[in-house]
Amino acid sequence: MEKIAAQLYTVRDFTKTAKDFAQTCKRIRKMGYEGVQLSAVGPIAPKEIQKILKGEGLTCVVTHTSFDRIENETAKVVEEHHLWDCKYIAIGGFFPEQKKVTQPKTWKDFVTRFNKAAKLLAAEGLPLGYHNHFHEFIKLPDGLTCYEHLLRELDPINAWFEVDTYWIAASGKEPSAMIRKLAHRVPCVHFKDGKLTFRDGAWGPDFKITEVGDGNLDWPAIIDACKYAGVQWYLVERDNGDMEPFASLERSFHNLRDRMGL
């Protein structure tokens, strides 16, 4: 059965020390969340993180780990994830210089690096995921978007996609359609909502991130697509917004459980 986790980037200002991290985990577990994504945490000793998570009964679902660490500190990264009993690892995205975004070589070189890292991590039982933002939907000279190239060229066995529903929608695509397209390659999805303006056949650039269920993304379609695609974890996230971060996580959880019946 699918489970709901909190992406800790939402409460990043409250995870900087072991004491704050422990209090944050306690609050999140009390809300009803069963797991977390480790992101923007620390510096906290890995064993301390493991102790706190275990003490609160929270699963470490996935992490956002820097690509630099994955490539240069592979053994240490693997050791940490095994300590946390974390089954998935992902990078938060690839962000080339603006002038290089539309150069095919930029993405070709990245794919080579990513697939090499994914193979090494897969040998240790850790498939490597890619989290999207908005810029991956810029078109390259061949007419395909950067994301379409990633879908075609990232290792189909060892790589997976951490779909971010909000950024997919903001790019003019339908999150549910993308999730269905990625069936069995998308174990974790970022549930992020927003109020976006649709015009000229696409979502416009004026948008605002909201709590899940309070924006205008099509959540029944998204949830149905997740069930179809075999998604295991729904990761609630809000980058920024008007509501206090913990209140935001609580509101999103309430909407998912009580309004949407998850």
Confidence tier at 199 by pLDDT (50, 70, 90) = low
Question: Phi first, then psi: what are they for 193, rounded to 5°?
Answer: -110, 170
Rounded to an integer, the average pLDDT of 71-84 is 98
Comparing 80-89, 205-214, 237-246, 250-259, the range with the smallest average pLDDT is 205-214
pLDDT at position 172: 85
* Residue 204 reports pLDDT greater than 80: no
Distance set, CA 180 to CA 130, 184, 186, 228 (Å): 17, 9, 9, 7
Query: Stretch 248-256: mean pLDDT, rounded?
Result: 98
- For tokens 């039982």, the residue is 125
- What is residue 107's three-state secondary structure? helix
When pLDDT is cut at 50, 70 and 90, the band that residue 201 belongs to is low
Residue 113's beta-bridge partner residues? Answer: none
pLDDT confidence of 82, banded at 50, 70, 90?
very high
Tokens of 123: 């040998």
Mean pLDDT of 210-220: 96
Q: Say yes or no to pLDDT of 207 above 80.
A: no
pLDDT band at 202 (very low <50, low <70, confident <90, very high): low
Residue range 23-51: mean pLDDT, rounded? 97
Predicted confidence at residue 98, as pLDDT, reads: 87
Mean pLDDT (whole number) for 97-109: 93
Taken as a whole, the chain contains a residue count of 262
Q: Return d(Cα 209, Cα 241) in angstroms, integer.
A: 6
What phi and psi, each to the nearest 5 degrees, are found at residue 141?
A: -55, -25
Average pLDDT for the chain: 95
Residues 38/40/42/45 CA torsion (nearest 10 deg): 30
**pLDDT tens-place string over residues 121-146:** 999 999 999 999 989 999 999 999 99
Helices (H), 134-218: 146-153, 165-170, 175-181
What is the pTM for the complete model shown? 0.95
- Determine the average pLDDT of the residues in 234-262: 96
Distance (Å, rounded) from C-alpha 155 to C-alpha 2?
A: 25
- The reported pLDDT for the residue numbered 197 is 74
